[in-house]
Chain A
């Protein structure tokens, strides 16, 4: 019997982070294909099951209910830790190690949030095993070997990585790379295994002076069904405004590639790519984006891609459904005219 363990992280309001649900979905798919595999979850909480931090947001009853509702898992370990007031890599990793020592999973999957990306290598070091960060795909064979795939060596190259003998095989995956499981009927509900741990006698923790909550889930801002992505062709705030207006008019989200964020034109939350967000819109319109491996791995789940670029050899043009060789500003100007005409003739385009 092969076992996959998933690290379940919660948001400040007690909900399981979407990346956790995505990992459950993928793990269930892997389990079905590989056969004879069960999927488990593990979640770590501060005293009285508050996610972390001094201010309680959910009661322990709600937390346990949430965990008990995670279809597809065979069981969920819930660790209530006395003395753990806020997230810290080493104490959390030591708790997870307890779970791993008991369960002995073949695979340990972690969502690629800042906390997850801290916990995974820490757990790996404690267990002298390997962890592969930011996988874009994984696969499990009948013997329980995990194939870990990620872009490597600066981009342009995809590497396939295995952990031949050390266990568990650990991989982190960013939000949006996998899809949640759709079907819930017929799948079992997990049993919840409660463990109370005393962390106070562990290594002394940092004191967190203040914690500024920046949003429910800094992973994504609201992504609409249509996303307009702008790239290196946008050099200044002035260049930006025509696309911002366009997005407002057609009801699209404005996102961008890494270089636009580096230029300080849009915040990091708008970045598409492996170190930004993985998006899955119905339609992605890319203007002046060349399409680095990093960026392209963020749009794998886009249903339809129209790419506008003057460079016909730009990597994004190879994979776009409609690669259009054109000047992004000329097209944007035309779009503005069309949409203005629509506004005038028929009232606003419906969103």
Chain B
């Protein structure tokens, strides 16, 4: 595998990610397997240059922006090894770290791709479908459904990592890797994920997405609080409520401005004019009737609190246009450069009910 001298014109794209920052680099390599990944890291260690491992460079915080040294792109580590069933009856899918979320979803949606006669899915759903497994893993990404599904690492069982000196080690859990990574960060240690075993979950058959619009932040907070305490109290809702997303007025306004330029946002009307905050909720499961009666309770709560408009859709395909709004919100709310720091707030509720910004 060639360690290529970095040509600034040809590889300009590799100096940037979605943060808007631009870096610099001296070398670049595109390993295709574990041996080549080791080679690349060993080269960096031997020549005492830093190494920056890159996935799809879709991150908003500059993690992929190189500061000199060797750029290691995982774009050729795209093998999907296939699924297998574990001792506990669950299914896992082994993939190399350059595989994207979209590729995983396309694979699992394949026409005859059934496991034990059922459809399975990979639960984590950060809205950036082009992000790679490696990228999502090292930042322990959270998706829309953090409320039910938590963080990325919770859906990874074993994985293989190549260390900064070129040696390859296996980890039994992603948690172990992440804590090692945190510990090693002070020492400037580098890890590159080679491949990971992803835990699959049985796919739900009924999906609902609902946008709740409020004319003030307080009523919106009250509503989220109401839903979360209901969830804590009632077993069913704990399972059914998959996602809770928070939008404040400024984020809504910025997404609105993007509507014309972004065709994925054009399947919906304009946001209600007096909306100062919004909550997006997703429910899913297999019992449609039960989900509907749960939603009736939400609707009553919403009315009691004094909420104004709602938008609702059912069906996984139909709720994609709502998810597109969430994706647009990440982009307009998140860029550190553009954010004037006055708290344009957007985030997903995690398992504990705290609103966190997608990372």
A and B touch in the complex (CB under 8 A): yes
Q: Using CB atoms and an 8 Å cutoff, list the residues of chain A in contact with chain B.
A: 235-236, 259, 262-265, 310, 325-327, 330
CA distance A164 to B277 in the complex (A): 60
Instruction: List, in ascending order, chain B residues with CB within 8 A of A259's CB.
Output: 263
For residue B48, CB closer than 8 A to chain A, the reply is no
The residue on A at minimum CB distance from B12 is A327
8 Å CB contact of B9 from A263, A265, A330: A330
B28–chain A nearest beta-carbon distance, Å: 15
B344–chain A nearest beta-carbon distance, Å: 20
On whether the beta carbons of A264 and B13 are closer than 8 Å, the reply is no
For residue B261, CB closer than 8 A to chain A, the reply is yes
On whether the beta carbons of B260 and A264 are closer than 8 Å, the reply is yes
For residue B10, CB closer than 8 A to chain A, the reply is yes
On whether the beta carbons of A264 and B261 are closer than 8 Å, the reply is yes
Extra contacts besides A310-B13, A330-B12 (8): CB < 8 Å: A235-B261, A236-B261, A259-B263, A263-B261, A263-B262, A263-B263, A326-B9, A327-B12
On whether the beta carbons of A263 and B260 are closer than 8 Å, the reply is yes
The residue on A at minimum CB distance from B13 is A310
A-B contact pairs, 19 of them (CB 8 A): A235-B261, A236-B261, A259-B263, A262-B263, A262-B266, A263-B260, A263-B261, A263-B262, A263-B263, A264-B260, A264-B261, A265-B261, A310-B13, A325-B10, A326-B9, A327-B12, A327-B13, A330-B9, A330-B12
The residue on B at minimum CB distance from A325 is B10
CA distance A310 to B261 in the complex (A): 21
The residue on B at minimum CB distance from A311 is B13
The residue on A at minimum CB distance from B266 is A262
CA distance A330 to B12 in the complex (A): 10
CA distance A25 to B263 in the complex (A): 38
Interface string of B261-302 (1 = CB under 8 A from A): 111001000000000000000000000000000000000000
CA distance A325 to B13 in the complex (A): 11
Instruction: List, in ascending order, chain A residues with CB within 8 A of B12's CB.
Output: 327, 330
Most chain B beta-carbon neighbours within 10 Å: one of A236, A263, A265, A325: A263
The residue on B at minimum CB distance from A236 is B261
A18–chain B nearest beta-carbon distance, Å: 31
CA distance A236 to B9 in the complex (A): 24
Instruction: List, in ascending order, chain A residues with CB within 8 A of B9's CB.
Output: 326, 330
Instruction: List, in ascending order, chain B residues with CB within 8 A of A327's CB.
Output: 12-13
CA distance A236 to B262 in the complex (A): 11
A223–chain B nearest beta-carbon distance, Å: 26
CA distance A236 to B260 in the complex (A): 10
CA distance A235 to B261 in the complex (A): 7
Instruction: List, in ascending order, chain A residues with CB within 8 A of B262's CB.
Output: 263
Most chain A beta-carbon neighbours within 10 Å: one of B9, B13, B261: B261
Instruction: List residues 229-264 of chain B with CB under 8 A from any CB of chain A.
Output: 260-263
B32–chain A nearest beta-carbon distance, Å: 17
Instruction: List, in ascending order, chain B residues with CB within 8 A of A263's CB.
Output: 260-263
Instruction: List, in ascending order, chain A residues with CB within 8 A of B263's CB.
Output: 259, 262-263
Instruction: List, in ascending order, chain A residues with CB within 8 A of B10's CB.
Output: 325
The residue on A at minimum CB distance from B263 is A262
Instruction: List, in ascending order, chain B residues with CB within 8 A of A325's CB.
Output: 10
CA distance A236 to B258 in the complex (A): 10
CA distance A311 to B262 in the complex (A): 21
CA distance A326 to B7 in the complex (A): 12
Instruction: List, in ascending order, chain B residues with CB within 8 A of A326's CB.
Output: 9
Instruction: List residues 1-45 of chain B with CB under 8 A from any CB of chain A.
Output: 9-10, 12-13
Instruction: List, in ascending order, chain B residues with CB within 8 A of A265's CB.
Output: 261
